Amino acid sequence: MENYELLKELTQAFGVSGRERRVREIILRELSGLCDEVKVDAIGNVIALKKGRGGPEGKRVMLCAHMDEIGMQVKKIFPDGRLQMCRVGWVWTSALYHDQVVFQNGTIGVVGCADIEGAKNDCGKLYVDIGCTTKEDAEKYVQVGDYCGFVGPWYELQNGRISAKSLDDRAGCFLLLEALRRNKGEGPNDVYYVFSVQEEVGCRGSKTAAQQIRPDMGVSVDVTPDHFYPCDLEGSSAVGEGISVTLGDPSAMLDEYLVEEMLSCCEEKGIKYQRGVMDRGGTDASSMNLSGAGVRVAGIALVDRYPHSKCSVISKDDLRAGIELVHHYTHRVFAF
Ligand SMILES: [Zn+2]
């Protein structure tokens, strides 16, 4: 049975891109005793290795879920104490307007806008109000360059659905931890569980992680948008319809053999899955794919309603299916 208190803790931790320290601390605590090697590299990725039984058919499998979340950074403090911001990662400005944000030091602010039309698209039109009315007063709490992220409490909805901030991609981190707990090293493959930094600003952490690991294959574990609610994205993914096996990712061409193996794995093990195509964005599959002399990649995703907001929604059933899939998939013999 999964420990959802851990997922709650992961979602509530501050971890805007480049400032993933708190998330990393939780993951390192959880990794204790679970794997053969753990290291943190220079840019902050956590790389955990669970060795397999070895033998000629054994592969080096890299799984990658990102620790970071989107947010904003202070670029100017106005004389009246309001903070002008720029975005870190793809922030929908409309998802921030009239909401609270939290800075790394715990300072809370409210996002306002001088121009309601501008608030829809232009982060530069937004400001953060921390309750100060002069620049001097504001600087006691927040400096130019400081980062803030969403305040997005954890709630359990009906039908096993969860709502919180940062499920993208703390849910993926949780999935990897739970899959690692089940890995007793009986499979043929050495499995690297990578918790990457800076995915939201260009899949940067996974680049250096893949260069170190030199995997035979890589699998990104991330979220993908739900398409069955009013939004401006189109596709066929739906929360609650199973783990999404990625068939289309604009940032990487998924390896035909690995995808077929993943679909077979779902069929053979009775894992509920859906076929997923992303038509925007990208994942850590892109950097694994183009690392070294080229790496075969695949991807799985948790379908996420209201992504990149303070109140994303995913399904516990999809999460369980994802844990099952990663467990069985990483124990397969890959014939390439
Ligand atoms: Zn993500």
Query: 321-334 pLDDT, tens per residue?
Result: 999 999 999 999 99
Burial of residue 270, with CB atoms counted within 10 A of its CB: 0-12 exposed, 13-18 middle, 19 or more buried: exposed
Q: Report DSSP state, residue 253.
A: P
The two structure tokens encoding residue 134: 């002069």
Could you report the per-residue pLDDT of 115-161, keeping only the tens digit for each?
777 666 777 788 999 999 999 999 999 999 999 999 999 999 999 99
CA–CA separation, 180 and 48 (whole Å): 9
CA–CA separation, 127 and 129 (whole Å): 7
**Type of residue found at 97:** Y
Instruction: Collect residues with CB below 5 Å from ion ligand 1.
Output: 168-169, 222
> E strands within the chain?
37-40, 46-50, 60-66, 71-77, 83-88, 100-103, 108-113, 126-129, 147-150, 155-156, 161-164, 190-196, 217-225, 243-248, 273-277, 296-304, 312-315
All residues at 6 or more sequence positions from 276 whose CB lies less than 8 Å from its CB, including other chains:
224, 235, 236, 237, 244, 245, 246, 247, 248, 301, 303
Q: 197 C-alpha to center of ligand 1: Å?
A: 11
Catalytic residue among 199, 200, 241, 324: 199
What is the helix (H) or strand (E) element at residue 324, kind and residue range? Answer: helix 316-330
The two structure tokens encoding residue 52: 């397999």
Answer yes or no: 136 catalytic. Answer: no
pLDDT attached to residue 150? 95
Q: 144 C-alpha to center of ligand 1: Å?
A: 27
pLDDT attached to residue 233? 76
Q: 298 C-alpha to center of ligand 1: Å?
A: 15
List domains and CATH numbers for the chain.
Answer: 4-69+165-330 (3.40.630.10), 71-150 (2.40.30.40)
Burial of residue 138, with CB atoms counted within 10 A of its CB: 0-12 exposed, 13-18 middle, 19 or more buried: buried
List the chain residues with pLDDT less than 50. none
CA 88 vs CA 13, 15, 92, 106: distances in Å: 17, 11, 11, 18
CA–CA separation, 122 and 87 (whole Å): 10
pLDDT attached to residue 226? 92
- Report yes or no: 16 and 197 within 8 Å, Cβ to Cβ: no
Q: 80 C-alpha to center of ligand 1: Å?
A: 36
pLDDT attached to residue 117? 72
Enter the pTM of the model. 0.96
Q: 184 C-alpha to center of ligand 1: Å?
A: 28
**Type of residue found at 12:** Q
pLDDT attached to residue 295? 97
Q: 202 C-alpha to center of ligand 1: Å?
A: 11
Q: 178 C-alpha to center of ligand 1: Å?
A: 18
Q: 307 C-alpha to center of ligand 1: Å?
A: 9
Q: 239 C-alpha to center of ligand 1: Å?
A: 16
